[in-house]
Every structure is written in C-alpha cells, then in structure tokens.
Structure 1
Amino acid sequence: MPRVEPIPSQRHLFEVPADVAYLDAAAWSPLPRAVRAAGEAGILVKSQPWTFPRTAIPALAERTRTGAARLIGAGVDDVAIVGSVSHAMATAARNLAPAPGGRLLRVADEFPSLRYAFDRLAEAHDLVVEEVARPADGDWTAALLEAIRRPAAKPLAVATLTPLHWTDGGRIDLDRLAPAVRDTGAALVIDATQAVGAMPVDVARWRPDFLAFPTYKWALGPYGVAFLYAAPGRQDGVPIEEHTGNRSPVAGARRYDRGELNDPVALSMAAAGLDLIAGWGVSAVAARLRDLTDRLAEGVAGLGLAVAPEPLRAGHVLGARLPGGLPGNLVDRLQEANVFVSERSGALRLSPHVWADAEDVARCVGALGHVLGRGAGDRTDAQG
C-alpha cells in the first residue's frame, strides 16, 4: 500500500497552550475551537428558540448520522444516534439471542461498558464468560485466535472485541479476528471507542453485528453523543427507549435512536468534530499519531520503561510499564510539569491526538525522566 503522508500538527485549531503537553485523548479530548463555536451557536438556538426553525434540527441529526457513518464505512441507514456506548451495548445485548450453553469471549480487564450488559446476557442464556488473559508476549491477536479455535471448547456464541486494549493500546487485529469469529457462526460486537477518528475502521471489512463509538474522545466532540452501527440483519430489534422518533414506519438502525435526539447543542458539536476528522482523512491522522507514539516509545524506553514492540501496539495509544510498577504519584507529579497522561491497570497510558507535536513528546519524556530520577541514558532492565 502507498505510504500515507501524516497531517501536520493542528494545534492552532485548539485552545491548548504551548506549555501544556496534553497526551490523554484516550480519556477525553479538548474541543477544537470550531466544535466549541458550534456548541455555542447551538446554545443560542435553545436560548432563543423563536429565532431558529425547529424543523431544521432533524436535518442536523442526519448530518451528524452521515458523518458517523462515513468514518466507519457504513451506510447512513445503518447508524443509530444514542446517548453513550453503554446505551449502545445494552441495545446490542438486548437484541442477541444466542443458543444456551455456549461461550461469550472477551479480553481480560475489559472496559465496563463492554462487560456489564453482556454479563447479563450470559446469565440469561447460560453462557460461559471466557476472558482471555493478558498474553505474556503482548500478542492479543494470537491469544484470541487460539481461544476462538480451541478444540473441544464449548461453541462460541458471542465475541465482544475492540481494535485495541483500552488500558495500554495493545493491538487486537480485527482484520484477522473478525473472519475467525464469523467462521464459527458467533455474533460479533465491537466497541470502537478507542479507535474511530484515530485509525481506519471499516464495518464492511469486519462485518460486525453491532459496533459502537462515542464522540468525546478521538472524534473530538461532546459527551452525550454516541453511535451504534447495526448490520442490516440486526435492524428489526427492540430499542432500549420507546418514543415516536423510533417507531414504525422508521426503518433501519434509526429504530435504535435515543430519545430527545434533536439537541441543537450536542448535535452541532458532534457534527463539527466529525467533519474535521473527515477533512483531514483518518489515514493521515493515524500516520501522524503513529509518528508521535513511536517517538514517545523511543523516549520512554530510553528511561527504562517497557513498551510493546511496534507490531503489537496501536498507532495512537502507547502503554509503558516499569518492572517494579509505576510510582503511586506519577500522574500527579507529571501534571505539576504540565504533562497530562493517565495510568490504567499498571500502565502509563500516553495518547496524543492531532494537537500534539514534537515539543509535547520532549516535555513528556523530560518530565518523566525527572520524576523517575533518571536521564535518557540511565536505562534499567525493562524486560518482562
């Protein structure tokens, strides 16, 4: 495939000061100026509703739906607008009816929104929940393939997967896993929270039964707006919420739309963020983020932290560990130096987005070295 040129830093489109290294997009992103402006315009609509035709808001909802569909390679009729990924996952679980006695497969330490609704589904249908343990070699894909194909195992009924592990960016290769799940006849549900907007996502290639993502992380939008893709064969189910907007004759995935959909604030912001991502091109965004995380990986490895090999990590989230564990106050100490990151399940999680640049990388590595009391040449044994 031809090399995709990365986009340059888009810091000028954000309100991120030059002395702030915000590397926590996997938690939530700052709003671009254009998204903030769209929200402020939406507030004016609600504060002075007589100045704006209410009939224009359904068109805004469809613009937002179209933007979401475009980012995942879906048809616009295949996407519902919901309030959160947990809402989406509850809807998906409600509309699966697996045969009793099979397996529900997922990775260990999965995010709660991809566990709770499916724990309930497993209990209702007598499914065994199989959590694939974190592999010692970091190869989630191989470990999942082994679990899917394990001889003499109970039949696979449902697989709930993500393109990367949310705690540290460990790669979960759905290009290889999705066909393996489909070959068993199991249902495939994908939580793309940590993917859409930062890496290519293609429902036509993965062919999930359901896929969901929000806007408040990589899609540069607000809280309270998320999307549920439902495959054509999964669009005649029962929504979580019942209202006039998702009842017959509404067809397609719109039957799963949330109530109080026509919010001029949230929809305007979500549409603006989705438009920005589409304008840059997801592949170009992904190329930029891979460059940044590769630089971060080199820098933190020079301080003695362990990172996964490049083929086993996503391009936009980097997890780094210390053999003896991270200091308990590490994140707070880094914040004192205006470096903003997260710790998740023992990993320092670094997640830049399009505002980040080489100076942020240098600031992060320098602050981390200072807190840990070591320079780039003071490596310790980072095996394990």
Structure 2
Amino acid sequence: MYEWIIIGGGIHGCTIALSLLKSGKVNKEDILIIDPHSSPLERWKERTERIQMPFLRSPSVHHIDVTPFSLEKYAKKINYDNPFYGYYDRPSLNLFNQHAATVSKEASLQDIWCQSKVKEMGKPGLFWEIETEEQHIYFAKNSVIAIGNNELHYPAWANELNNGYHIFDSELNMDNIKPPLLIVGGGITAAHTAISLSHRFPGEVTLMSRHPFRVHDFDSDPGWLGPKYLDAYSKIKNYDVRRKRIYQARHRGSIPSELYSRLHRLNKNGKLSIVQSEIQTVSSESNVLISKESTVFRPATVLFATGFEPALTNQRWLRHLITKQNLTCANCGYPIVEESLEWCPHLFVMGPLAELEIGPASRNIIGARKATERIMRNIH
C-alpha cells in the first residue's frame, strides 16, 4: 500500500516525485514510480541524444528540482564550462541531464522505481488498484498520471515508403542510416536533426519543410506562464474555447533564432539543402519522391521529424479507466480536471493530460513545475 503511485518517470513524473519527497510530507517507502524504462528520464535522454540537441529551449530555472535556482547553483558548484546559452540562460543538455541525475540520486528515485507498464487501473474500493503487465497489483491512496503522447505522427504518404523512419522510432539505429538523406519537418526536432546530420554527411542532407521557418524563442509566449494570459484563460468555462486558445497560442513547428541562423549558414556553405515544399507522389518500388513542384528526390533514407499525434494517448488501460470511473473529458478527448489537477478524488494528472487546466505550456518542463505546484498546494 502506497500513499502515492506516479505513472510515468519522465520529466513530469520525476518533478512531482522530488517535490513530494523533499516536502517532508511523504516518506520514500510510501511512493512508487511506474515506468517502462530502467531509470528516470530515460526516454527524454534517448530522444535528445538522438537529435544531438546541444542546449535546451527553456531557461535555466526550468528543471526537475524544487528550488528555481538549483540548476544554476549546481553549474557553479561543479564549475561547469559554458553551462548556459543566450539571453535566457538556456542550459546545456549535458548539464541539465547531469543535474537531473544528481538530484534523482540524492533523492534515491531508483529505490522507488518499478520498471513496468500499466495493464489496468481502477478503484473498486477505497484505494487505487494498478496492475502491471507482469500481473503485480499495487494499491495507492493517491495516483498521478504523468504520461505523454508517444504515438508518432507521419504524413499520409509515409506508409508507401520502405526506407522511411520517424526520428523517434525506437527501432531506428542512427548508426545505420545511409545518405543521401531527406528530413521531413520544419520544427526544432527537424532543425537539430538536419544540423547534426549535415556535419556527418555534408552536402548529402535535404531538409524539407511545408512552411517557411517560424522563428520564436519559445513554443508559446511566456505570458502563458503567469497571470498575463492565464487569468483570462481560467475564466473560460467552455472547453472547446480553451482548446482553441491552446491551439492558437502554440508556436507549432517553430525554432529559436540561433537554429535558424545555423541552418542558413549550412545551406549557404553547401552542407545542407533547404526546400520549402511537400511530397506529392511516391514510387515505393524505386523510392523516388516527387514534390508538388515536380522536383524529383531519390533519398536512400527518409527521416520524419513530424512530431506526435495530437489526440489523447491511445493506451488501453487509460481508455478503460475513463470508462470504468466515468471520468469527464472535453470534446477533444482530454481530461476536464479541477484547479488542483484532480480528475476525480485522489487522481491527479500532469503533462498533456493537464493542458486544459494548465494551458499551452503544460507539456513542457515549466508545465511539470506548474502542475507540481498545483498538486502540492492541495495536499495536506
């Protein structure tokens, strides 16, 4: 029997776990994190390593520890060389991961770790019952669902290819990819991937985006982190309108200015080709792609940097939970929750599941911090 079971051991799950442990309100033996990976932030580390992201997009005060300046203090303590980039002190990815590993180790998160997948979840009595795929059943007074949507998004024509891979496909081995390469996408993932691979295969990489580069420092205006926009947002009672506000606020497929400059420098130097277009015709037999302008591409490898499906994650146990517990969802399929982020008594959500309450930054690192603040404020 646990006081808290957290489903998901990524940035969101670890942020709430650290706050619960450091608050002194919960003992280590009363918390369990269930995650399919072997250690905290494993999927985050895999994906950011794959695209060779040197610095985060978010500022230094956005991290998984409790106090805002923890990361800056850590950088000074270990005398880290070149820890931050630019006006907003965006941390080096390596520094961010080192800091996360250090605070996780200090809090002994590995001791409360259960490497497994959830099979079923319900509340037949007073407590939550969570069954894993190994048929272990765990009981909890409170549960936090801190999962993202990991269903990969592909263009409609992608299934006609036999040499196409999503950049975040776990089966993809980056050591085995062969040039020439076509990278499909126009956002930050596509940009990092193109920059990295153009150094590895100079002159043999093409980046194809459907739209001109959208240059923004962050993927939504910083006003969404505080009362500037959230006060008015929280007064909206119609969840269709909230969804529309989130959609309008997100700078989808955008990149910060230094990536824009690097892409154009590589393009100018002939190391990278940049094309604004989209594929119209695919010949699966010869892997020939033809753009809507009739340009012919013959890539040995196509990499899709096209993000994730926007719909609610399609995990079976979550669908069953919604039905069994009669949990309220908006027309978009996402949870309607209390200000405390409770979906029903003693069941909290974070990340994408909390965005109708937290707003457009809900999926980000700051969204993890904002959600944690809400949950911590409402426990005694």
Richer in strand (by share):
2
Instruction: State the TM-score bracket (shorter-chain normalisation).
Output: under 0.3
Richer in helix (by share):
1
Structure with greater contact order relative to length (CA < 8 Å, sep ≥ 6)? 1
Q: TM-score, normalised by structure 1?
A: 0.26
